[in-house]
Amino acid sequence: MNHQPRKRFGQNFLNDAQVISRIIESINPGTAQNMVEVGPGLGALTLPLLERVSELQVIEIDRDLIAKLQQRQLTNLVIHERDVLTVDWSSLAAEQHVRVVGNLPYNIGTPLLLKLLDAREHVQDVHVMLQKEVVDRLCAQTGTRAYGRLSVLMQSCFDIQALFDVPPEAFTPPPKVQSAVVRLTPLTQSPNAELIEKLSQATRLAFGNKRKTLRNNLKKTLSAESLSAAGIDPQARAETLTLEQFLLIAKMLP
């Protein structure tokens, strides 16, 4: 491979041709689409993507990997050297919504998803590899162990489909955990920025102490009476509330 994988950049390179082609088939790239790959690394997804699209933009933080990509002189590849968490998605989507793809470094999976939530009006869809545990949280239904803030926030704005699991052996070096590929498609209608901010606040408070009831977790902000008036049991725990109930609470916040 001739590159020492850097742990701080979450470098676990895909080495399994079957997994790679399954990811590409799930994305189903179209020639003229505005495809943006996060963390191209040594090109495991980049090269097959380039066979299918007329232009591919990639965002990579590691200069050594960028130098390796540049050496290949791929004419239809546009390389952005930067931290993906600082990207302005509206400028990348100036002409067309972006299709975001990538085998994400595990340390930035959740922060990147939250950035994409804010940028969803510029996004066509997202296909990413994440820790399976994060994919489970993204898709979790009310009342399950994995259900939490991330589930509520992301489900309020995206249709989310877990596609398939990927074992550690598919990567070099192998990560310690299972991975999974997930597809997120922005809903045609979703809460506006102000309501998302309140939903974020409502979920932070409600899930604040998992063993406490809603009444206790929300005590400083909302009375038990106002919860009851909205048809929400103040004795309930956050993990039993539906997305609609969280939205009701968000709308009641001062």
Q: Which two tokens stand for residue 148?
A: 């939490």
Question: Using CB under 6 A, which of the segments 80-88, 134-142, 156-164, 200-208 binds ligand SAM?
Answer: 80-88
To ligand SAM, the closest distance from the beta carbon of 38 in angstroms equals 6
Question: Using CB under 6 A, which of the segments 10-18, 28-36, 146-154, 178-186 binds ligand SAM?
Answer: 10-18
Question: Using CB under 6 A, which of the segments 54-62, 138-146, 160-168, 178-186 binds ligand SAM?
Answer: 54-62
105 in contact with ligand SAM (CB under 6 A): yes
113 in contact with ligand SAM (CB under 6 A): no
53 in contact with ligand SAM (CB under 6 A): no
Which listed residue (78, 85, 177, 187) binds ligand SAM by CB under 6 A?
Answer: 85
Q: Which two tokens stand for residue 196?
A: 């998302």
Which listed residue (35, 77, 84, 157) binds ligand SAM by CB under 6 A?
Answer: 84
To ligand SAM, the closest distance from the beta carbon of 17 in angstroms equals 12
Residues that bind ligand SAM (CB under 6 A): 9-14, 38-42, 44-45, 59-62, 65, 83-85, 103, 105, 108
